[in-house]
Structure 1
């Protein structure tokens, strides 16, 4: 049950946090520092893929938390932040090395933002586990 709850609540939390952070708060910054010519217009978004990707990320973070033995809020935040930093740095450096979509400013900011987002997701997931086994 922990894995299912973590996957669902982690995926939902990441969807809404991503929408607020990337879709609203950082929208102008990202537009100024990246080449958005490959992005789909909002009305052509493939929603099933977006939803599935968020659930898969929720599952991935849930598994990392479970395998690390995370039980407390601090465990969730720390493990989520470390995982988020490493994953964000990997994805952003890969994108920077192979495309012209991002500049180095986006790489730096996105790694920080992704670290914070996954720390929050780690917190949400651990909170959904409750006190049971």
Structure 2
């Protein structure tokens, strides 16, 4: 079950309207609709945490490992980092398509890819023009 399906199911189980939930988490109705249609995901962790708090669930239920990786990359490296992480996940999915890897082996490969991504970002940071650096 993906994020959109989980969110829609949680909202319906609590008999909340889309507008009520949107107001509760601090987003527009259009934004909430795009979440439920699977068009977009929340940009910030705080939105996931607000949703988890409202429905009294663990935030990890809402986040897939890929979503967490994309959020982390976006927080650390901005838009370009987020896009790079999204491309890496899409390419990894293609790599696993039709394969015979167990879920455990897929997780090991995915973890290694994430680690390599962040190491490459750190290594390349010294070559990044200042206007693109996102330091915290």
TM-score (norm 2): 0.33
> Higher relative CO (CA 8 A, sep ≥ 6), structure 1 or 2?
1
TM-score (norm 1): 0.34
Larger Rg: 2
